[in-house]
Amino acid sequence: MNADRGLSPIQRVLWMYRALKNYVLSFFLVRRGDTLYNVPLKKVIFTGLASPTRMYTENLISNFIPWKKITNELPNIFVCEFGCGDLRYLDLLNELLGEGNFRYIGIEAPDFKLGKEAVNKLNEKVKFINYNLNDGVPDCISECNVFLSFSVLEHIDNIDNFTKNYSSKVCVKSFHYHSVPTFLSVFNYLWHGCRHFNALERNKFLGKFNYKKAGIVYYGGLVNLLVHSILITSIDIISKLFVVKQRVRFVTQSWSRELVLKTQPLDDFTARIGINTFCLIFWKSN
């Protein structure tokens, strides 16, 4: 059942019930891996329309992923990004690792087409392929040693097939970082995706991999939840009925980022006690 595909009212109720059930069960399960609650916003990197969640995600890429340690452990960096879009994080990776110092392959849905600006970024070290992740993963990822995805895994209908195929094709020591929604993101993103990754789903997902160390970072607390719902989701709803100018979206997203930044301690605290809309799952493969 995929909430992206236009569910009937009854299907939506069943979808919500299942998500809520998994959320409640999560409180009684032993979590796999360590839990980290706070990754302070040290450097905010964003352009154009970017929600507070993306602001936090870019902060995690820049300030949480231990790029120095990774480059020390791995002789050559080969990044695989599932659901890369228009190579939106490639510039950030170039800044962190140095342009030309790593190989990269971005994977997107079969019908996705790169924009002209993104196409111009492709070269002998930067590749892009279309692939249906419901069928698993392409063979070429076997050479990759850093795996990334941001708000992608929840959209894969056949997650079991993807996970099994993904884990079987990881042939080298590698690092994995995947940002996924928790139950409360449903109020931000209106039935977004197939599932939400609470402890039940995370344990099942991680159980398919052979890893040395795993962990999770919770982020997007109460302030993020309220601000996103009021200033971003509400505009999305209004835009289905009336024309909303791009300037309005830009202003509301700017306000939402500023509000979350100013109240970060509260947002972090609420994420720590269970009011969180996203989490980053990470592990290191043997």
pTM above 0.85, yes or no: yes
CA–centroid distance for 286 within its chain: 23
Q: What is the pLDDT of residue 174?
A: 95
Q: What is the pLDDT of residue 48?
A: 58
Please return the burial class of 212, using the count of CB atoms within 10 Å of its CB with bins 0-12, 13-18 and 19+: exposed
CATH of the domain spanning 3-285, picked from 3.40.50.150, 3.40.50.2000, 3.40.800.10, 3.10.129.10: 3.40.50.150
5-25: per-residue pLDDT in tens?
A: 667 778 878 888 888 888 888
Residues of the chain where predicted confidence (pLDDT) is lower than 70:
1-6, 37-38, 42-49, 191
Q: Where are the domains positioned within the chain?
A: 3-285
DSSP state of 139: G
Q: What is the pLDDT of residue 51?
A: 82
Q: Cα separations (Å) of 64 from 113, 214, 272?
A: 30, 14, 17
Q: What is the pLDDT of residue 107?
A: 97
Closest CA to 132 of 160, 112, 154: 112
DSSP state of 89: T
CB of 256 closer than 8 Å to CB of 151: no
